[in-house]
């Protein structure tokens, strides 16, 4: 597995397994299948409600802890210096681990500064190897960096052929922040899996559209965490390191960019309010 080196020297697999929208009752089996297929990077979140199932799968796998890279995220209702520290330990307990590899602020809302101070302390204590953020636009990312000691290692944002984030990636690179894609397949929107451009490239390489999308991201230096509950798709999604897109093919995919989210705008006041008021049940 190829890796990227984060700004604190930690190595992170460039391709991992995400569990967003996998029901808790299916997560343990799905993660077990993913680990059996060869995934070693797992991405979950407190808000997903399936951390315990991820932890059970890790324990059942028998894979040495040092061979895994585990990410989870802090939800808005747990923002703030005191609450963030407690939320971290809750997640750690649910996962059945003694440390995390990456802990992210899930949304750029609430007491982000307090949360970041708590996460910096957790990092100093050796409880988490790297800390970062998710869904931060450039202005919020710069603001966080300018007023704190630690530069986030990662910013996990919606990134796929229809919302490519090239300018955001450039800014992150200048700041030393690794871009990570969520929603790499855009949940099939805009006819992604049957798109003529992507399909033509896939046919030229004897690969699937999904593999072309993942290869396109990896070639751009984007960390990616595809999700599937089907073992054959899990294996297919890992099989993207034996071919390379040409410059012309990369340019063809670049023409698909709409420059806008296919899901929701993190700067929309109604969405900000909706996410900020969502309280986890714990």
Instruction: Note the Cα 65 to chain centre separation in Å.
Output: 20
| CA atoms lying within 13 Å on the CB side of residue 91 | 29
Whole-number pLDDT of residue 185: 96
Annotated catalytic residue, options 48, 103, 109, 113 = 48
Rounded average pLDDT over 240-247: 97
Model confidence over 18-50: pLDDT tens digits? 999 999 999 999 999 999 999 999 999 999 999
User: What DSSP state is assigned to residue 5?
Assistant: E
Model confidence over 54-71: pLDDT tens digits? 999 999 999 999 999 999
Mean pLDDT, the chain, integer: 96
* Strand 154-158, strand 178-182: pairing: parallel
Rounded average pLDDT over 205-229: 97
Rounded average pLDDT over 257-280: 88
Residue partners of 93: CB distance under 8 A and separation at least 6: none
Name the strand (E) or helix (H) holding 172.
helix 166-175
Whole-number pLDDT of residue 15: 98
Whole-number pLDDT of residue 113: 96
First to last CA, the chain: 36
pLDDT level of residue 164 (50, 70, 90 thresholds)? very high
pLDDT level of residue 278 (50, 70, 90 thresholds)? confident
Active site residue 113: no
Q: 95, 43 in Cβ contact below 8 A?
A: no
Q: Which pair of tokens denotes residue 191?
A: 């006819």
3-state helix, strand, coil in the chain (%, to 5): 50, 15, 35
Whether residue 281 has pLDDT greater than 60: yes
Whole-number pLDDT of residue 274: 87
pLDDT level of residue 276 (50, 70, 90 thresholds)? confident
* Closest by CA position to 230, among listed 22, 1, 68: 22
| Residue 51 to residue 120: CA distance in whole angstroms | 22
Whether residue 72 has pLDDT greater than 90: yes
**Total-model pTM:** 0.95
Q: 70, 95 in Cβ contact below 8 A?
A: yes
pLDDT level of residue 277 (50, 70, 90 thresholds)? confident
- Beta-bridged to residue 11, according to DSSP, are 5
Question: Helix (H, G, I), strand (E, B), or coil: what is residue 105?
Answer: strand
* Closest by CA position to 114, among listed 142, 91, 148: 148
Model confidence over 108-123: pLDDT tens digits? 999 999 999 999 999 9
Whole-number pLDDT of residue 282: 54
Whole-number pLDDT of residue 147: 95
Whole-number pLDDT of residue 38: 97
Model confidence over 83-105: pLDDT tens digits? 999 999 999 999 999 999 999 99
Model confidence over 178-209: pLDDT tens digits? 999 999 999 999 999 999 999 999 999 999 99
* Closest by CA position to 218, among listed 41, 47, 64: 41
Which domains are seen in the chain, by residue range? 3-271 (3.20.20.100)
pLDDT level of residue 7 (50, 70, 90 thresholds)? very high
User: What DSSP state is assigned to residue 179?
Assistant: E
Whole-number pLDDT of residue 264: 83
Whether residue 73 has pLDDT greater than 70: yes
Rounded average pLDDT over 124-132: 98
């Amino acid at each position: 597995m190829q890796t990227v080196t984060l700004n604190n020297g930690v190595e992170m697999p460039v391709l991992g397994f995400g569990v967003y929208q996998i029901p808790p009752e299916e997560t343990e089996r799905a993660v077990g299948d993913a680990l059996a297929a060869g995934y070693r990077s797992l991405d979950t979140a407190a808000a997903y409600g399936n951390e315990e199932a991820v932890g059970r799968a890790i324990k059942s796998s028998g894979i040495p802890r040092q061979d895994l890279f585990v990410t989870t995220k802090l939800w808005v209702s747990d923002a703030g210096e005191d609450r963030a520290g407690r939320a971290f330990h809750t997640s750690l307990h649910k996962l059945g681990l003694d440390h995390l590899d990456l802990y992210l602020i899930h949304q750029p809302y609430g007491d982000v500064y307090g949360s970041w101070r708590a996460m910096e302390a957790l990092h100093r204590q050796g409880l988490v190897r790297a800390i970062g953020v998710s869904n931060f636009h450039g202005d919020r990312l710069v603001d966080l960096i300018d007023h704190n000691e630690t530069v986030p290692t990662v910013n996990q944002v919606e990134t796929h052929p229809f919302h490519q984030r090239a300018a955001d990636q450039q800014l992150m690179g200048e700041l030393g922040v690794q871009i990570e894609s969520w929603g790499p397949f855009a949940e099939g929107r805009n006819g992604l899996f049957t798109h003529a451009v992507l399909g033509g490239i896939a046919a030229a390489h004897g690969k699937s559209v999904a593999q072309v999308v993942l290869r396109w991201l990896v070639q751009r230096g984007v960390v990616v965490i595809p999700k599937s509950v089907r073992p054959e798709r899990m294996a297919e999604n890992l099989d993207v390191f034996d071919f390379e897109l040409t410059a012309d093919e990369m340019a063809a995919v670049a023409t698909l960019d709409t420059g806008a989210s296919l899901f929701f705008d993190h700067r929309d006041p109604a969405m900000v309010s909706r996410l900020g008021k969502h309280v986890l049940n714990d």
